[in-house]
Structure 1
Amino acid sequence: MAGISRRSFLGATGSALVLTACGNGVGGNGSGSIDGRVDATRDYLFQNYPGTRDLAQKAFGVLYMPLVTEAGFGVGGAYGRGALRINDVTVDYYSTAKATFGFQIGAQQYAHALFFMTEKALGDFRRSNGWAVGADVRYATPEQGASLGKETTELDPVIALVFGQSGLIAGATLAGVKYTRIIP
């Protein structure tokens, strides 16, 4: 049992060192206010994926998560903080948390945005006591972020876009992620 604990400790320490060096460069370096990091993330998103500007204008609200840090060595987790904006004005702050178990090793950072395309989806999110990503979420790739069209936005209540990944874990997914309203 002590061997497993040592390995887990060494894996977590190594992951923390990797994360120190890998910053995703999207929402700033972690200093400053949540709103400042959200502004930088929104600007990065609109500049690099122009179709997301129209998507944000059509959305009833957008949750921006500038920096989510994920690490794992058998057991893993992720955490980040961001802001929900309606008409580009912050109305609430949220944290995101994820726990994982299985074959995994490494660490990564990424940003993501959730576009609430219906009033009902936004209302359900805001009324929940801890909202988890479910089957009603459509995942868009960064390549689609340049051209998310009308047919996409008419059918999907929530569109998730993960971008700015850096680090050493394969893939970035929002499956099993829980969002909770916070007071920063």
Structure 2
Amino acid sequence: MKHLFRKITGTLCLVASLAVAPQALAEDGYTQAKTTFQQANQTQKFFDSAYGYALFPTVGKGGIGIGAAYGKGRVYQGGNYQGDTSLTQVSFGFQLGGQAYSEVIFFKDKAAYKDFTSGSFEFGAQASAVAINIGANAQAGTTGNSVGAGKKAASASYINGMAVFTVAKGGLMFEAALAGQSFTFEEK
């Protein structure tokens, strides 16, 4: 009887851990991405002064002629989790490869936060992001990416109330394409 009880208890613990594991991994992804951005000199001032921000731990992007990107994220205001967001991007033009990166979008004020969290928001083709990368530099944006060797001090300021930063996680993509990122928001 004791042996049967141990087996049942062990099985229940295994099932419970499998159910909790994806949530724990997701939490770790957000924590790791936030820590990475907080440690970068370029974004420290934004965490200190922004009204809020959207954080995407992993955005996957790939293409051959036609490209696409997708990522899930969370929106924070005053340091508090407010809801979920998703990023989609479709691009056309010369592009080849795939990459993964983290992205953070800072909102300067309540108006920019409300624009983003209105339910459906899209960056125009002129929007760009500052890429933060140690040991290499890159320029990433919705208008295209380029990569080079060495160190580069990236700087950014708010444009239309938002500032966007990315950190490369892996992969390589050659691109000369026009693209726009679209976002959805769902309050928690």
* TM-score bin, normalised by smaller chain: 0.5 to 0.7
Provide the residue aligned with 1:61 in structure 2.
52
TM-score by length of 1: 0.67
Larger Rg: 2
- Note if contact 1:73-1:104 (Cα within 8 Å) is conserved in structure 2: yes
1:43 Cα shift? 0.4
Higher helix share: 1
Provide the residue aligned with 1:73 in structure 2.
64
What CA distance in whole angstroms lies between the structure 2 residues aligned with 1:135 and 1:99? 12
1:112 Cα shift? 0.9
Is residue 103 of structure 1 aligned with residue 94 of structure 2? yes
Higher strand share: 2
1:92 Cα shift? 0.8
Provide the residue aligned with 1:180 in structure 2.
184
Task: Let me know the Cα RMSD of the aligned residues.
Answer: 3.0
Q: Which amino acid aligns with 1:56?
A: F
1:86 Cα shift? 1.2
What CA distance in whole angstroms lies between the structure 2 residues aligned with 1:101 and 1:137? 16
- Note if contact 2:84-2:185 (Cα within 8 Å) is conserved in structure 1: yes
Kindly tell me the number of residue pairs found equivalent between the two proteins. Answer: 148
Q: Which amino acid aligns with 1:133?
A: F
Percentage of matched positions with identical amino acids: 24
1:39-79 Cα distance to aligned partner (Å, 9 max, x none): 210101112x1342221121011101110001111222111
Unaligned runs of 5+ in 1: 1-29
Is residue 116 of structure 1 aligned with residue 107 of structure 2? yes
TM-score by length of 2: 0.66
Unaligned runs of 5+ in 2: 1-21, 133-151
Matches within 5 A, 1:159-174: 159-170=163-174
1:144-181 Cα distance to aligned partner (Å, 9 max, x none): 56x66xxx35x751000111242120369994110112
